[in-house]
Amino acid sequence: MTEVTPILTMSRVSKRFGATQALDDVSLTLYPGEIHAVVGENGAGKSTLIKIMTGIYGADSGSMVVVGEEVSPRNSAEAQLLGIAAMYQEPLIFPDLSVAENIFIGHQDRGRLVRWDAMYQDAAQILERLDLDIDPRMPAVGLTVANQQGVEIAKAISLEVRVLIMDEPTAALSAHEVDRLFQQVRSLRDSGVSVLFISHRLDEVFELADRITVLRDGRHISTRTVAEVTEESLIREMVGRDPSDFFAWSDRPRGEVVLRVESLTRRGVFEDVSFQVSEGEILGFAGLVGAGRTDVGLALFGVSPADSGSVELDGIPVELESPRDALELGIAYLSEDRRQLGLSLPQSVTSNITLATLPRYTSSIGLLNAPAERQDAGSLAEELTIRTPSLATPVSQLSGGNQQKTMLAKWLNTNPRVLILDEPTRGIDVGAKTDVHHLIDELARSGIAIIVISSDLPEVLAMSDRVLVMREGRVRGVFDRDEATQERVMTAAVGTV
């Protein structure tokens, strides 16, 4: 294999975002006619790596060589000209244009005039090669996700790409569609294309890949042929940070069961989810992105209610049809997306903290009691050590960690019994992370039942008294703290056979 000239070589590439070292000295070589899988936990650096390859990000250091020539594409169009194209879980198509135009629109070499007949013919030929029965004249708006991906592969073929990057392409496909996609990928490989395949599903990786690279925490861990690895060895390499680096867990007093969830189901989203949380307990929700954890959180907060199943609060069955129901019963949910859903960025710290509890500050004629608002906001800000020039400062000017604390303050102000924290430390720096971890611990000690949803496995393991693992909408295991090793949790999360 080594005497073949590589198509693409990434050498010692590093990339940093703020406090996060997303890629640290990573090297990767792609040969013609191979399917190369890249695996790793969420945040291992897979996305950053492919974004550098496709010119969306520039690397801080390191080099990228395409067929012997050093390059640094500045955007995806330039990467395409070098023969590097990417397709994602949600294909990027032009819904109003015909299938044929979707395949050929970006091409530089077809002259000023559109030759419709020739274009339809060429498109039909490529689609037939891919065993896709799609009329190239049809607008792309009606295509299934699988067929949209077929169109993207057709585009790659027509571009004569040398490297095709596929980022989680199977996430939205049925088993039958996955089989066909794999056939198409193999035929691409056999024609000499190098395919970089990213998937969370290890069974797919083993079925398809020739070589497998493991990334962890932005670092390259190993690259081996598929014969040299086992699922166990892969998982061992994917995990590996020590949870105690994060947070020194110590026993907390636990009280009565506060929340009991029985066979909660939302059709097509999650199924038969049962668990319980007690006063003072931290229950971790582990799993891969897309496993349905956030959906369970949203169901409990009444945003998208479950279809069936029961929820008991302090032993009393409750209905959760809206966030208002949930808040009245004492369930609060801290969204993973604080910029979009959690905070009103242009408004002040005070306004954000009192947003969910405005009726408390409203007099009978509908006027707000501003001093009372400021007082409560002030004491919460102090309690949570929110660093801000003043309480009137717009939240947009705060750092990520302090925004997160502001959001936490908003929900604490509702005096919750159950607090659901969705990715509470995403995108905040290490120091602030530790702060948030200690806050969560203190809140649990004050008797609140806490659910922490986190894709950061060491973090969940460090914080939680028990860990619940979800995969594809179902609970795949609940581990007590002393049984919850990274290997066990990861195995349940990726579902190896």
Partner 1 sequence: MSDSVDTVLSPSRSARWMKPDRIKELTLVGIITASVLVFSLLIDNYLSGRFFNRITTSVVIVAILAAAQTLVLITRNIDLSVGSIVGVAAYLTGDFLGANNWAGPLIAVLVAMLIGAVLGSFNGVLVAYGRVPAIIVTLGTLALFRTMLSLYAGGQNITADSLPDWVLDLNRVTVVSIGGLDLRLVFLIAILVFVVLQWALARLRSGRRLYAIGSNPEAAKQAGLPEQRLVFWAFVGSGALAGLAGFMFLARIGTISATAGAGLELESVAAAVVGGVSIFGGSGTMVGALLGATLIETLELSLVRVPQVSEFWRDALLGILILAGVLLDFTLHKRLGRRLTAAARTDAGGSPPTTIGARRRAGKGSSDA
* Site of interaction with partner 1 (CB under 8 A): 75-78, 80-81, 89, 92-97, 101, 105-106, 110-114, 116, 132-135, 137-139, 141-147, 171-177, 180, 268-269, 287-295, 298, 303-304, 336, 453, 455, 472-473
Instruction: Calculate helix-pair angle for 175-190, 145-158, nearest 10 degrees.
Output: 10
C-beta of 360: minimal distance to partner 1 in Å? Answer: 29
- The distance of closest approach from Cβ of residue 161 to partner 1 in the complex, given in angstroms and rounded to an integer, is 13
Which CB, 179 or 245, lies closer to partner 1?
179
Q: How far is the CB of 192 from partner 1 (least distance, A)?
A: 23
DSSP string, 40-107: --TTSSHHHHHHHHTTSS--SEEEEEETTEEE--SSHHHHHHTTEEEE-SS----TTSBHHHHHHTT-
Task: Assess contact for 55 and 74: CB atoms under 8 A.
Answer: yes
Tell me whether residue 78 or residue 314 sits nearer to partner 1 (CB atom): 78
**Residue closer to partner 1 (CB basis): 453 or 484:** 453
Q: Is 313 helix (H, G, I), strand (E, B) or coil?
A: strand
For residues 420 and 62, give the distance between their C-alpha atoms in angstroms, rounded to a whole number. Answer: 41
* Cβ closest to partner 1, residue 144 vs residue 244: 144
Nearer to partner 1, 74 or 438 (CB): 74
| R_g (Cα) of the chain, nearest Å | 25
Nearest approach, Cβ of residue 75 and partner 1 (Å): 7
Helical (H) or strand (E) element with 333: strand 331-334
Close Cβ partners of 12 (under 8 Å, ≥ 6 residues apart): 25, 26, 27, 61, 62, 63
Q: What token pair was written down for 50?
A: 């492919």
- Please list, in sequence order, all residues whose beta carbon lies within 8 angstroms of the beta carbon of residue 292, skipping any fewer than 6 positions away: 269, 270, 273, 470, 472, 473, 474
Beta strand 8-17 with 69-71: parallel, antiparallel or unpaired? unpaired
Token pair for 129: 């090669």
Residue 339 per-residue DSSP state: I
Nearest to partner 1 of 293, 437 (CB atom): 293
User: Cα separations (Å) of 66 from 31, 97, 166, 343?
Assistant: 11, 32, 18, 44
What's the min distance (Å) between Cβ of 79 and partner 1?
A: 9
Q: Which is nearer to partner 1, 336 or 376 (CB)?
A: 336
User: What is the four-CA torsion angle of 156, 157, 162, 164, rounded to 10 degrees?
Assistant: 40
Q: Using the minimum distance from each CB to partner 1, give the nearer residue, 295 or 459.
A: 295
Question: What's the min distance (Å) between Cβ of 393 and partner 1?
Answer: 28
Which one, 244 or 322, has the nearer CB to partner 1? 322
In the bound complex, what is the minimum distance in angstroms from residue 4's beta carbon to partner 1? 29
Helices 486-494 and 231-238 meet at what angle, rounded to 10? 120
**At closest approach, how far in Å is the CB of 288 from partner 1?**
8
Give the number of other CB atoms < 10 A from CB of residue 347: 14
Paired residues of 10 in beta bridges: 28, 64
Indicate the pairing of strand 20-30 with strand 8-17: antiparallel
Least separation in angstroms between CB 112 and partner 1: 5
Shortest distance (Å) from residue 248 CB to partner 1: 28
Shortest Cβ 385–partner 1 spacing (Å):
29
Closer to partner 1 by Cβ: residue 49 or 212:
49
Nearer CB in complex with partner 1: 126/291: 291
Asked if residues 8 and 194 have their Cβ atoms less than 8 Å apart, the reply is yes
